[in-house]
Structure 1
């Protein structure tokens, strides 16, 4: 059995083609690519669909959640930095530049951005691996 506790996470978008291009770019900086696609939905992962981007199935506009964010695991500080740069270059906005966050744990290094729909997304790495936390 996998050590992961989640099957997948989905975010809604009102700008599907633009948002998919945004995530192609920023997740590509972490070595994450598209693994599935359906009309109005695309899934990303390293081996299976862990993160979905889609137009809401109910036909209503997508909305962000206050206090909600999705964190992507990076392999290095350089990947976190590349994720942040790619997000800004692809039209996202910064919500916390790359750097240590000792209040999350001494080995924590991450960044936060807002995607094209305003969803808060993060890239982070535990320097020294998760057991260092």
Structure 2
């Protein structure tokens, strides 16, 4: 048994892609800004995590075209505002679309600092930091 699994509420998340190699080339340098690395690499899927495959990008199991869902997004943990800023900068460099530049969001509360981007497949992703002294 993986010792940290009893501290987790979610095992993993998957986003569909129509081009695994392209998704990998986008996410590998992007997630490295948060200390998240490639842990599984298959022709049909890749997975990233901090030692465990937590975030998957894959061709849909039914072999149909991958699509995005309105209201769906995936948020990554940053350990500082600087990591959020770097995540955003690298995402923009890699061809992501801006969906909310780094900064506080009063509607999410005082501790929140984050950014939002849209990946190459149209998925909405976020990096956020919560100031612990304010949480």
Query: Residue in 2 aligned with 1:109?
Result: 113
Query: Residue in 1 aligned with 2:40?
Result: 36
1:8 aligns with 2:16: no
1:86 aligns with 2:87: no
Deviation at 1:128, TM superposition (A): 2.3
Deviation at 1:95, TM superposition (A): 0.1
Query: Residue in 1 aligned with 2:122?
Result: 118
Query: Residue in 2 aligned with 1:23?
Result: 27
4+ long deviations beyond 4 Å: none
Aligned equivalents of 1:13 and 1:56: distance in 2? 7
For the aligned residue pairs, the C-alpha RMSD in angstroms reads 1.2
Q: Any unmatched runs of 5+ in structure 2? A: none
Q: Any unmatched runs of 5+ in structure 1? A: none
Give the aligned length. 131
SS at match of 1:26: helix
Query: Residue in 2 aligned with 1:65?
Result: 69
TM-score w.r.t. the length of structure 2 is 0.92
